[in-house]
Amino acid sequence: MNNNNYMLNNLFSLKDFQPGQISKFAGSNQYEQLKKKMSKKLKKVPLPAVFVEKMFGQVFELLNIDLRAVLLKAWSASPEFTGFLGKLETAPGETSFVPLADHTISSDHTPHLKSYVNNVSIGDIKFDINFEFSIKGGILKVRDQQIKDITLGSCAGKCSIKFGEEPIFEKEYETFNFMEPIKLGNGLPLNLMGKNIRDISNYLSTDKN
């Protein structure tokens, strides 16, 4: 599977936005306050009417987050999990399959969108994004102190995006179908699991084999 298929902006795609959601947000108090704030910076330059649509289009660019990094980072926060992997002893070249208990992962993100009109900066727009993934039947393939791939028996998920207190996107999926193991290239060294999501993503994106 192509690495892009593991990106959250593909799992929660822009086509799931409904036109009514955009118009609802455009009429909200939160957006009115945002427009007033931006208008002060623009002075005599009017805020384009299509700005809100452009903003929504860019929201999903902010979701260019690797699902694999989200899962690995969350698992690294479990002392029981990391302790078990740390004690896992295998001979060089020997493969171990580590089953995961059924569990739910919650991941929060606060990305910022830099906005410009006619090359005038009108400030950053912050969003609050939450993902939840309920995983059953997960198995990790470990060899030579590296996680080689992840098999998920089933994975349900939901995503919510807010601007201030205004929800602009909510979607729940009964299941994501990963028909084959989720590959981690040459493998993710166990000592990298505690890194932040960006560092793990960068490592996975540059490991092409």
Give the residue-averaged pLDDT of 149-166. Answer: 88
Which tens digits make up the pLDDT trace of 19-50? 677 788 888 888 888 888 888 887 777 778 78
Domain extents for the chain? 3-206
Which tens digits make up the pLDDT trace of 62-115? 788 899 999 999 998 888 888 888 787 778 889 999 999 999 999 998 888 888
Is 208 or 172 the better-scoring residue by pLDDT?
A: 172
Percentage of residues in the chain with pLDDT exceeding 70? 93
Name the least confident of 9-18, 84-93, 114-123, 138-147. Answer: 9-18
Q: Which residues pair with 112 in a beta bridge?
A: 126
Q: What is the pLDDT of residue 106?
A: 93
How many CA atoms, within 13 angstroms, populate the side-chain half-sphere of residue 112? 5
Question: DSSP secondary structure string, the chain?
Answer: --GGGGBHHHHS-GGG--HHHHHHHHTSHHHHHHHHHHHHHHTTSPPPTTHHHHHHHHHTTTT--BHHHHHHHHHHT-HHHHHHHHH----TT-EEEEE---EEEEEEE--EEEEEETTEEEEEEE-EEEEEEEEES-EEEEETTEEEEEE-SEEEEEEEEEETTEEEEEEEEEEE---S-EEEEEEEEGGGTTS-HHHHHHHHHH---
Contact indicator for 103, 135 with CB cutoff of 8 Å:
yes
Give 177's pLDDT tier (boundaries 50, 70, 90). Answer: confident
3-state helix/strand/coil string of 177-195: CCCCCEEEEEEEEHHHCCC
Q: What is the pLDDT of residue 62?
A: 79
Does residue 209 surpass a pLDDT of 50? no
Name the least confident of 17-31, 145-159, 186-200. Answer: 17-31
Does residue 14 surpass a pLDDT of 70? no
Contact indicator for 139, 98 with CB cutoff of 8 Å:
yes
CA distance 64 to 4: 9
Q: Distance of alpha carbon 131 from its chain centroid, rounded?
A: 7
Burial class for 46, CB neighbours closer than 10 Å (0-12, 13-18, 19+): exposed
Q: What is the pLDDT of residue 4?
A: 66
CA distance 145 to 46: 57
Does residue 149 surpass a pLDDT of 90? yes
In this structure, the number of other CB atoms found within 10 A of the CB of residue 92 comes to: 7
CA distance 3 to 187: 14
For the record, the structure tokens of 1 come out as 């599977």
Give me the chain's average pLDDT, please.
83
